[in-house]
Structure 1
């Protein structure tokens, strides 16, 4: 049985409890981060904590735990649960108080929960075979740059993708692709340009996205930031996604249109290899 962390205590998962008056449960008033684990070490941890602070700041939410303590908690959970490969989820809400739309952050004690999931990250079906994508309208709220627990629409999007025989969905707003349901979207044009949408309130500033762009730049491969349509994506040589739990995931079809011969493309696989190698050098 897994050990989880709840408000200062390490407890068996079946003993973990959060108040029914928690604002995360009542209002989705919470934020989260997901750090991947390779070889028992955390990938991109400082960037994840920096984004946690940004999300909290945008929502006026306190963080009462130091960054050093958060690192220690992550490491302790990885150790206690013998996670060699997998992820650590950090979920933080504004806290618990009797239900009311109005709140006083100073009078609330944030709820902090962390748990692990052991799963393959390197040798996966997505890495070997690629993934099929369908497009759906982007109906989320206007601050998608904040990593909140408001994940109902992305969840419904993944369910729609599954019902349509695909693995995931890319969302489209105002005629252009925003991002995947839980990942950033990239295409490789037929002239070899690697393209992803620029940061804005419309997309999450992905940690894997930023690291991949930095590693690519250092290796002499630039990634162009501009908007692109789903039609341009269907006409691309390759496409892929980036996320903390997938790293770089090849996309082999969009809305039934096959890309890169129906298998992971060489540019995508090269970027995936670079990301994994560089990330392991910096793991904590």
Structure 2
């Protein structure tokens, strides 16, 4: 679609007339709605919606859309976000030694599967520097130990500011990000190599093998201060059998990790994920 669009993500206490009230804000200002979806969490008493419209012929300039909608949102006790389709997010990919998720994200980006810039790769090892050089992406090796974690995370934060990063993707980074870092930069997506909440933490494939599971999975989630317990964006599974060894589980799991992480990043970049509490709604 050539015409730029605006998207509102809204969550608020459920009540009658919410769809009409939000849609009328757009209609009354000359907007053409091209996508609308909503969900009601009856247990939580919450209404959640995503609505997208064309900015062509819309009466309000961009800088006034937020303040104008806020006048409607405040009486509804609504949390809301406003996004524009021609704003290109900037991603930093964090890696360790494994390259499969890194390669997959770069290839999908080059194939224009999602709209973003990837100007920065950060790693606690030097191993993937050649990959970054191959694709013309700046690579920063920042080794981290227990003793240097605070100091090194300060360097990471400075790089995110320097490169104007909007989203960090932990593409098999294999390090725990500190609560202090998360509080300063909360927009982080992680890929975990199990079907959470099963097998939290390190070595989930080994734990799955010892347990004799018949399926293994991968989970992409937002990072919070609770280890591997943030709001889940995407998951998938594959069957395994008693004939599979740990190496087979790892091989099958890597395929899942690529796909699940890519889906989650794409949904986030398309402004289709709405977080509430420790849950998400992912609008199709």
Specify the TM-score bucket, using the shorter chain as the normaliser.
under 0.3
* Higher RCO (Cα < 8 Å, 6 or more apart): 1
Q: TM-score, normalised by structure 1?
A: 0.27
Q: TM-score, normalised by structure 2?
A: 0.27
